[in-house]
Structure 1
Amino acid sequence: MRHDSAYPLYAQIADQLRANIQTEKWQEGERIPTEMDLCDIYHVSRITIRKAIDELVSENLLYRQRAKGTFVKQFSPDTNEYATVVKGFTQELREQGKNATTLQADISKSHADHKIAKYLQIKPGDDILILKRVRGDGKNIVAFFKTHIIFREDYSLKSKDYYGSFYDYLATKDIRVNQENEYIEAISATRELQKLLKIGDNEPILKRVRFTSQKEMNFFEYTECFYIGSKYRYYLDFG
């Protein structure tokens, strides 16, 4: 664990706890050590441990159960919990009377680490595609998306084929996502995000993490979306 005054201690602890989950040192459904035990392990206060756990609870990686402890979330991308109508960026902007544009797209073949393998329900090291896109509304840069999907031979490896709607592209492969889970949180922009989104140090960022699937087609998606706070609103439709 690094001792960096510019990086809060609770966040450093959260990184360690998150790694325990991603590497499956802590299995799904397993109760993690108590707050007091973690205090002894990391030699920090209970307040620090509690803040670190709160961060992972907000990420939907851990959950608390009264009088029993804190447990690793059992994740299933096809669960109906938090399920919403699957709606892409293109459709969101269209409903606001705007045109979605892609300013930059990059597609690459890679290999799944433990975290991505868990989310895509594959083995670490399996082939995946990583799609990175900077998107806008025709006038301004609005967001940066980083998408992970399982590699298929019929997927294009040409970046130009991903400048339109991603879900429209999937439809040409007979994939129509029918399940979605997501969570949203406010974060500070990293230097990489500041450069991609062309924003300053103090610009707030809305991070939206999306899990989608069409299980019958063995399709699973994990996407991290980073929106410029002043240029994006997230609408919920309860109708």
Structure 2
Amino acid sequence: MPTRRSVAPPAVFPDSPVPLYAQIKDTLRAGILDGRYPPHSRMPSESELQAMFDVSRITIRQALGDLQKEGLIFKVHGKGSFVSQPRAFQNVTSLQGFAEAMSEGGHDILNRVLSFDIVPAADEVAARLGLAPGSPVAEIHRVRLLNRAPVSYEISFLPEHFARPLARADLVTRDIFLILENDCAVPLGRADLAIDAIAAPVEIAQSLDVKKGAPLLRIERLTHGADGMPVDFEYLYFRGDTFQYRLRIDRERPASKAR
């Protein structure tokens, strides 16, 4: 189990307008985020934190409760509180491949290629790619590994004419997006996404090292070239405990009515 580094004696300010529990929460959060309390290390006990901050146990429990709500710590009955493994995240307001986005955060990305086949397109796949039902398409199954741990299972469908350059490309280390742009000279334009939650089927659960029926984040993504033509339809299955999608939205102000 990881051990925490020594932490300087913290200070709280009773006269501050910020409640004591919030000051303690912020101090502990800073220690988690800067690595003084590494992932899976045990946090100081309630009594240790009481002595450390010279406050009541109720105040300590409020601070720990808020950290738990934020997902920064988790509790094990009879053993105390432990630091959670931080989740990687991808911003969905820009069109990026998984490795492209994760590499910006300093993460190590590898892919486990499970299969690469030419198959007749099912009705939904054909409709999304603008093909006749049964048209041949490349179907690629990959497990994406984030820092050597499985984080997503991806099933990609592409028109058959992309099969040869994809088969020659390094699918172990490269995103399909980059292969399309650099090897196939297809500039990408936009993607349509649909997001929901499902229970993990057996095959995907085994590949992601989770139990059958565990909750997964499922994303259907249809990517279009800059000319508007669909080029890549995917089912992406993410472990909810290791990854999250983030986006920022602005409130649209209603147009002012003429007087």
**TM-score, L = length of structure 1:** 0.59
Higher-RCO chain (CA-CA 8 Å, sequence separation at least 6): 1
Residues 205 and 229 in structure 1, CA contact (< 8 A), matched pair in contact too: yes
Q: Which of 108, 121, 126 in structure 2 is aligned with 1:99?
A: 108
- In the aligned structure 2, how far is the partner of 1:204 from the partner of 1:154? 32
- In the aligned structure 1, how far is the partner of 2:200 from the partner of 2:210? 9
**Given the alignment of the two structures, is residue 199 of structure 1 paired with residue 228 of structure 2, yes or no?**
no
**Given the alignment of the two structures, is residue 162 of structure 1 paired with residue 168 of structure 2, yes or no?**
no
What is the SS of the residue equivalent to 1:178?
strand
**Given the alignment of the two structures, is residue 185 of structure 1 paired with residue 196 of structure 2, yes or no?**
yes
More off after superposition, 99-108 vs 204-213: 99-108
Aligned-CA RMSD value = 2.4
CA deviations over 1:115-138 (Å, ceiling 9, x no partner): 111100010121111011011112
The 5 A counterparts of 1:109-188 are 109-152=118-161, 155-156=164-165, 158=167, 161-163=170-172, 164-171=174-181, 172-188=183-199
CA deviations over 1:182-236 (Å, ceiling 9, x no partner): 0111111011111121211353211111011116384421100001110111122
**Given the alignment of the two structures, is residue 234 of structure 1 paired with residue 258 of structure 2, yes or no?**
no
Residues 158 and 232 in structure 2, CA contact (< 8 A), matched pair in contact too: yes
Q: Aligned AA for 1:137?
A: L
Q: Aligned AA for 1:138?
A: N
Distance 1:205 1:153, change over 3 A: closer
What is the SS of the residue equivalent to 1:125?
coil
- In the aligned structure 1, how far is the partner of 2:138 from the partner of 2:131? 13
Residues 204 and 230 in structure 1, CA contact (< 8 A), matched pair in contact too: no
Q: Match for residue 223 of structure 1? A: 234
Gaps of at least 5 residues in structure 1 are 1-82
Distance 1:219 1:185, change over 3 A: closer
- In the aligned structure 1, how far is the partner of 2:214 from the partner of 2:162? 40
CA deviations over 1:125-171 (Å, ceiling 9, x no partner): 21111011011112210000001111106634638632221111112
Q: Match for residue 19 of structure 2? A: none
Shift of 1:88: 1.2
Q: Aligned AA for 1:141?
A: P
**TM-score, L = length of structure 2:** 0.55
Q: Aligned AA for 1:166?
A: I
Q: What is the percent sequence identity of the aligned residues? A: 19
Aligned residues: 157
